[in-house]
Amino acid sequence: MNGRPLLCLVEDDPIMGESLRDRFLLEDFDVDWYQQGGTALEALRSKRYALLISDIRLPDMSGEELFYTLRSEQRVLPPALFITGHGSIDKAVTLLKLGASDYITKPFDLDDLLAKIRALANQPVASVSPEHQPHLGISRVMRQIEETLPHLAQEKASVLITGESGVGKEHVALSLHELGDGKRPFVAINCAALSESLLEAELFGYEKGAFTGALRTKQGVFEQADGGTLLLDEIGEMPAAMQATLLRVLQEKRIVRVGGEREIPVDVRLISATNRDLKALVESGTFREDLYYRINVLHLHIPPLRERREDILWFTQLFLETYNEAHPANPKEIDHSAEQALTEQVWRGNVRELQHCIERACIMSAQPRLSAASLLLDPHDVPPEVAVALPATDQTLRDYLSAAERDFIVASLEQHDWHVVATAETLGISRKNLWEKMKKLAIAQPD
């Protein structure tokens, strides 16, 4: 191999396959190129490859069948990257759940593909466990975080989890706790939701009669989490005075209830979470530097959903499964137009916003298949490269929505060669409903 990573390329298109092979050779890779899944399968059984790159659509077997067969026959597999079109994204997502490393959608940028290949080809060949199912996401970064958690769970050091609102920081914290000792208590508190006086009482508890309304003694979250895990969410919003008190508690591992005098020993695994840049807050003097280093022994950063788009459809399927389990008489699924619309959104609210979007669409739509129109997405909440033009300022909302609906229906009709039944199915409405909308919006097939 002359020290060069050996790639297994499976691509039945002779022009595409030859082009990719030649470029990979120029990029200092060795390449075995196969146009049939069966011949690639035999090679993968006998040779050790640094990476498998396969189209999902093959003439003799699908990329899915190739991967399933390999996984059932051998415990150790090379990283696998699949090439797919928009219509096969669901298959790629399924493959990622089962242990594939990544996928790229046609038409793709060759530099993006090469970047993925370089990253994957340098990874050691790993064991694939059929029982393993990802819990945090199928994107590479989330799978790396998930692989790190079992090791972190064995440590008692403080963990800081950062990321935008809605990315799933509490879910990661709970996963870390359950990998350690899930039988022990897990307690979470939002530091931004309480005033300074209430926050102190919630953190450390209070004695009966400590203040007006303190009719009984109450344990704070430190005592409630004793022996387990305490999550301090939005710790960047904690007032300065409370930061000093928290630092002392972490150093001494003792708390004093409000209105009390007795020191109470506590033993908690502290996890802190924030959507703020704590380093910048330290530099501005609004967050204590000594507390920052105390809580930031181990750091996990969760990227926003727009930077790990392969997780979008994975989460979508999870939310649909949850809805369908709760509503077995009215199950929902999404079509390809909805898949494409979901992957093109910015998702400023991240996973939380996506969850609300899917739940809303399931409740509001009378059709079993959710289309792009069913999702009620904000047309302005898309990346600049796919953003639509803003409406004219003299338009009313009703005029703009009617025009948008008309454009969407016409585009769908053109996509299906003006076949009404197929278009209605894609839109998630009845044929009669589509005819009525066409009449109302003056839509007619061109001569």
The pLDDT confidence band at residue 132, using thresholds 50, 70 and 90, is low
Which of 67-71, 355-359, 368-372, 384-388 tops mean pLDDT? 355-359
Q: What is the CATH number of domain 141-301?
A: 3.40.50.300
Q: What is the pLDDT of residue 171?
A: 94
Q: Between 3.40.50.150, 3.40.50.300, 1.10.10.60, 3.90.79.10, what CATH number should domain 389-447 receive?
A: 1.10.10.60
Q: Which residues contact 112 (CB under 8 A, 6 or more apart)?
A: 104
- Tens digits of per-residue pLDDT, 288-340? 999 999 999 999 999 999 988 878 888 998 999 999 999 999 999 988 788 88
Compare 131 and 232 and report the one with higher pLDDT: 232
Domain ranges of the chain: 6-127, 141-301, 305-386, 389-447
Is CATH 1.10.10.920 what the domain over 6-127 is classified as, yes or no?
no
pLDDT above 90 covers a percentage of the chain that reads: 47
- Tens digits of per-residue pLDDT, 163-177? 999 999 999 999 999
pLDDT above 70 covers a percentage of the chain that reads: 89
Mean pLDDT of 1-21: 87
Compare 252 and 86 and report the one with higher pLDDT: 252
Indicate the range of 9-13, 56-60, 378-382 predicted with least confidence. 378-382
The pLDDT confidence band at residue 78, using thresholds 50, 70 and 90, is confident
Q: What is the pLDDT of residue 253?
A: 94
The pLDDT confidence band at residue 414, using thresholds 50, 70 and 90, is confident
The answer to whether residue 209 scores a pLDDT higher than 90 is no
Mean pLDDT of 222-250: 94
Q: What is the pLDDT of residue 248?
A: 95
Q: What is the pLDDT of residue 394?
A: 56
Q: How far apart are CA 209 and CA 406, in angstroms?
A: 66
Q: How far apart are CA 46 and CA 61, in angstroms?
A: 19
The answer to whether residue 1 scores a pLDDT higher than 90 is no
Quick one: fold of 305-386? Helicase, Ruva Protein; domain 3 (1.10.8)
- Tens digits of per-residue pLDDT, 184-201? 999 999 999 888 888 999
Q: What is the pLDDT of residue 124?
A: 54
Fold match between domain 6-127 and domain 141-301: yes
Q: What is the pLDDT of residue 385?
A: 44
Beta-carbon neighbour count of residue 28 at 10 Å? 11
The answer to whether residue 34 scores a pLDDT higher than 90 is yes
The pLDDT confidence band at residue 89, using thresholds 50, 70 and 90, is low
The answer to whether residue 129 scores a pLDDT higher than 50 is no
Q: What is the pLDDT of residue 130?
A: 43
The answer to whether residue 107 scores a pLDDT higher than 50 is yes
